[in-house]
Amino acid sequence: MDIVMIVLRLIHIFAGTFWAGSAFFLLLVLLPALNTMGQEGNRFRQMFIARSRFITVMPIASLLTTVAGVLLFVRVSDHFNSDWLSSDGGIVLSIGALAGLLAFGHGLGTTNVTFRKSAALIRAIEAQGSPPTESQLAQLQALGRRGASNGRISGVLLIISIVGMSAARYM
């Protein structure tokens, strides 16, 4: 029994399930519902971004998933053995792994940055003690659109990654 592989797989699977599941829930369920709620939806979205642990927990889950995934990839590929990498399973897993790395980089470099900027702006608005200015509202709306767009890109990359990783075993 290879305890290192078991631990790495457990970390990769549980953190990856949390990461992808949370992203898909946010993109496919929560945000569309909030978009139909008008001001109440906007207020909840702002409090969720500014006060929840989402923008802290998601990068941690994605980092754990990615680090464990890279270590697993090194082990299953026999340290990037060219015969394994050129096999059908190796190619499919490599595509999934690449998409996962891109989802991690994109999410951390764009989506997370956008959420953090939104949270900072929301806290600044709260601290000023008056309603947001037109400029601040415009910034929040632009950040919201950018966050949703970046989230969709990361979501597509996650789907490619999940399909590649789950299908590689059967190639």
| pTM for the predicted model, two decimal places | 0.91
For the chain, which residues make up each domain, given as ranges?
A: 3-168
Chosen CATH of 3-168 out of 1.10.8, 3.40.50, 1.20.120, 1.20.1440: 1.20.120
Sequential pLDDT tens for the chain (171 residues): 899 999 999 999 999 999 999 999 999 999 999 989 988 988 898 899 889 999 999 999 999 999 999 999 999 999 999 999 999 999 999 999 999 999 999 999 999 999 999 999 999 999 998 989 999 989 998 998 999 999 999 999 999 999 999 999 898
CA-to-CA separations, 25 to 1, 28, 33, in angstroms, rounded: 36, 5, 11
Cα separation of 112 and 28, whole Å?
A: 18
